[in-house]
């Protein structure tokens, strides 16, 4: 059994909880995900099963979220689960918020929240934070492909914002930074990941849909459907060579999906003359 699952992770559980559950019902240890989703957040969590874990690095890694941002307060975690640090009477308008959002388009620098899993000297930031230890958190560059205001309630000062971004972007930090720019403070009350690479929320399944190994196998997505790589169709002779780690002749270049019998059997690198096998998966 191998392939991808488009899981919808509910609030209140970790990405590791999802993996542990799937390992338990399938009896397969080789299971991984393509990007952690905090317990506070919900939404799309692509999961790889079996030999498909070897293909994670080739999946598209851009993400898209819908964030509910509450203006007028700050918390230590930048979300609703933290302790309130400050409050403000400043009331912002929809036009003011829209004008500030423009500056977040494109490449930006952000400082990750201290309650995050980034490691400093081998220790996670949230471990330092819980111990009351201050450490230097260096800014990092991320790319915001699209950011737009979906809705804004002037009375409650609650906004819903769509953000499409690069891997490693902290949406909680964007919410916090918006509050600082508008001088009123802000934190997230809800966060939903609606896209992870080619995996979308509309085609996702919840863990409650998966009760047996048979359920998992029924919902598996073949790797050939999700890897954004140019395809090389192998004949019988070429497949035998590839399965033995041998090169094949081809004028294609770059990282390539190797296809045999309508299945992805490996990944190769072409130089315009031949293709070298980088990873061999084999027939399902």
Please give the positions annotated as active site: 38
For 138, residues 6+ apart whose C-beta sits below 8 A from its C-beta are 111
Q: How many CB atoms lie within 10 A of CB 124?
A: 14
Please, what's the b/e burial string for 231-240 (b: 16 or more CB within 10 A of its CB; e: otherwise)? Answer: ebebeeebbe
> What are the b/e assignments for 12-42, b being 16+ CB within 10 Å?
eeebeebbeebeeebebeebebbbebbebbb
φ, ψ at 198 (rounded to 5°): -95, 10
Residue 90 Ramachandran class (φ > 0 left, ψ -120 to 50 alpha, else beta): beta
């Amino acid at each position: 059994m191998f392939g991808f699952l488009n899981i919808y992770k509910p609030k209140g559980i970790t990405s590791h909880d999802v993996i542990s559950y799937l390992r338990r019902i399938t009896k397969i240890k080789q299971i991984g995900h393509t990007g952690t989703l905090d317990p506070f957040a919900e939404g799309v969590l692509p999961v790889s099963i079996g030999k498909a874990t070897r293909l994670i690095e080739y999946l598209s890694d851009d993400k898209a979220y819908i964030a509910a941002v509450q203006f007028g307060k700050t918390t230590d975690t930048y979300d609703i689960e933290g302790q309130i640090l400050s409050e403000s009477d400043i009331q912002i308008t929809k036009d003011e918020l829209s004008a500030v959002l423009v500056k977040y388009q494109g490449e930006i620098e952000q400082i990750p929240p201290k309650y995050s899993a980034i490691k400093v000297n081998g220790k996670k930031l949230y471990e330092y934070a819980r111990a009351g230890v201050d450490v230097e958190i260096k800014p990092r560059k991320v790319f915001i492909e699209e950011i737009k205001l979906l809705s804004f309630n002037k009375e409650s000062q609650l906004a819903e914002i769509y953000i499409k971004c690069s891997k490693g972007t902290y949406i909680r930090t964007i919410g916090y930074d918006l509050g600082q720019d508008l001088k009123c403070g802000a934190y997230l009350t809800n966060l939903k990941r609606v896209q992870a690479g080619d995996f979308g929320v509309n085609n996702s399944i919840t863990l409650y849909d998966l009760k047996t190994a048979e359920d998992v196998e029924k919902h598996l997505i073949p790797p050939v459907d999700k890897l954004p790589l140019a395809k090389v169709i192998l004949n019988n002779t070429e497949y035998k060579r590839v399965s033995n780690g041998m090169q094949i002749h081809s004028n294609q270049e770059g990282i390539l999906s190797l296809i045999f019998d309508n299945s992805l059997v490996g990944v190769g690198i072409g130089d315009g003359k031949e293709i070298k096998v980088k990873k061999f998966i084999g027939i399902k």
